[in-house]
């Protein structure tokens, strides 16, 4: 079990939620890639580098959502990848429409830094992408 990789992802998510850019820069590989969520509107898009990833999140959060919470529920070790089971809550800006979903993200870690991230609307698909049993 790669406890180190799980701890890197936990620290990365914590820094992200706290908007600690200094810590994020320490935990993100310079070649960091964010791949659009499988099954989502951004599927197929790739964002490269921490600055571009942050800009994407800021634009999505700022334009579409009045409130957005992402709560990690579990971390599943898959060697150089970590599957994070998430609970997401969103409230639409202007509309007030509330959405809740159980999703997942797969993080790839190399040399103690996050090099790749991809969200999944389907938790089973995330497990499969990381080579874990359903």
Give the model's confidence band at 26: pLDDT under 50 very low, under 70 low, under 90 confident, else very high: very high
What's the pLDDT at 60?
65
Q: Tens digit of pLDDT for each residue in 57-70?
A: 777 666 777 888 88
The pTM of this model reads 0.91
pLDDT of residue 96 exceeding 80, the answer is yes
Domains of the chain, start order: 3-129 (3.10.450.50)
Cβ 51 vs Cβ 31: under 8 Å = no
Higher-pLDDT residue of 58, 115:
115
Q: How high is the mean pLDDT of the chain?
A: 91
Which residues have a Cβ under 8 Å from the Cβ of 3 and sit 6 or more positions away? Answer: 77
């Amino acid at each position: 079990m790669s406890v180190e990789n799980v701890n890197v992802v936990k620290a990365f998510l914590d820094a992200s939620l706290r908007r600690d850019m200094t810590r994020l820069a320490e935990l993100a590989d310079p070649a960091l890639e964010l791949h659009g969520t499988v099954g989502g509107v951004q599927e197929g898009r790739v964002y490269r580098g921490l600055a571009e990833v942050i800009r994407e999140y800021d634009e999505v959060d700022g334009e579409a959502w009045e409130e957005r919470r992402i709560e990690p529920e579990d971390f599943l070790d898959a060697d150089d990848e970590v599957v994070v089971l998430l609970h997401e809550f969103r409230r639409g800006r202007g509309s007030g429409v509330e959405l809740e979903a159980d999703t997942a993200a797969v993080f790839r870690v190399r040399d103690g830094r996050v090099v790749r991230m991809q969200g999944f609307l389907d938790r089973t698909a995330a497990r499969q992408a990381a080579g874990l049993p359903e």
